Amino acid sequence: MKQSVFGLILFFFLMLPPVADLLESIMIFHMHMQMPLLIVAGFLMGKFFLLRFPAFLEKWNEDGIAGILLFVVINLYWMLPRTMDEALSVQMIEIFKFVSLPFLAGVPLRDSWMKLTTAVKNAVIILFSFLFVGLGLVYTLSPVELCNNYLLKEQVTLGWGFLTMAACFIVYLIYTLVVDPSKYE
């Protein structure tokens, strides 16, 4: 339960206007700090939902596939350059960000991840590696501003952020492929 409380505190902390403004003022903070932290807040709060609605989750998210799909869909949506812009200019979209990332991405991730088979987990990481490489290239190579609220220079920084994340995923995938942890136990 302690985790859920921490998640809730983190969630409210991120919602504080000065904190939100600061994180949203820099493009890479917006996409690679605020949004993941909202998912983390949801992930921590997920414990509460797991304890509260075990039957529902067991029934409708038995093998974690539906939950992880929801997680992927919400992430896809927030990776569109347009949604990042609109979160700043349209209040409804900003509210949707603070609801969807914790509760429709963080919570399902918590419920689903342990239920998934290793193959599906790796498939998810491979999918995100491809996505991040693609987006990284789009953001670093685009000659025009994709977001009206941010400078071109920030966009390139964000692109490198995506590429770095993708590199981490790929390193992890190679590691799981070549290293057998049971040998070292």
Partner 1 sequence: MIKSRQKIISVIVVLIFGFVLLYAGTDEFTAFTSETARVNGLIENKPEFPAVTLEDSEIRTYTFSEFKDKYVFITFMYTYCSTVCPKLEMNMSHVYSQIPQKYLGDDIVFLSISFDPARDTSAALDKYKGYFNSDGETWRMARIPDKKDLEMLLKEFGVIVIPDGFGNFTHNSAFYLVNKKGKLIDVMDYKKVDEAAQKVLTILKETGE
Q: Three-state secondary structure along 53-65?
A: CHHHHHHHCCCCH
70 is a contact residue toward partner 1 (CB under 8 A) = yes
117 is a contact residue toward partner 1 (CB under 8 A) = no
83 is a contact residue toward partner 1 (CB under 8 A) = yes
Kindly tell me which residue out of 37, 86, 105, 166 binds partner 1, with binding defined by CB under 8 A.
86
62 is a contact residue toward partner 1 (CB under 8 A) = yes
Stretch that binds partner 1, among 1-9, 47-55, 73-81, 162-170 (CB under 8 A): 73-81
Residue 4 · residue 44 · CB < 8 Å:
yes
53 is a contact residue toward partner 1 (CB under 8 A) = no
61 is a contact residue toward partner 1 (CB under 8 A) = yes
95 is a contact residue toward partner 1 (CB under 8 A) = no
* DSSP per residue, 92-158: HHHHHHHHIIIIIIIHHHHHHHTTS-HHHHHHHHHHHHHHHHHHHHHHHH-SS-S-TTS-HHHHHHH
Cα(38)–Cα(19) distance, integer angstroms:
12
Collapsed DSSP state (helix, strand, coil) of residue 51: helix
Stretch that binds partner 1, among 18-26, 36-44, 82-90, 176-184 (CB under 8 A): 82-90
In whole angstroms, the minimum distance from the beta carbon of 138 to partner 1 comes to: 10
Cα(8)–Cα(1) distance, integer angstroms:
11
Q: Sign of the C-alpha dihedral, residues 173, 126, 34, 98?
A: negative
In whole angstroms, the minimum distance from the beta carbon of 96 to partner 1 comes to: 9
Q: Contacts with partner 1: how many residues (CB under 8 A)? A: 28
Q: Binding residues for partner 1, per CB under 8 A?
A: 59-63, 65-66, 69-70, 72-73, 76-77, 80-83, 85-86, 89, 144-151
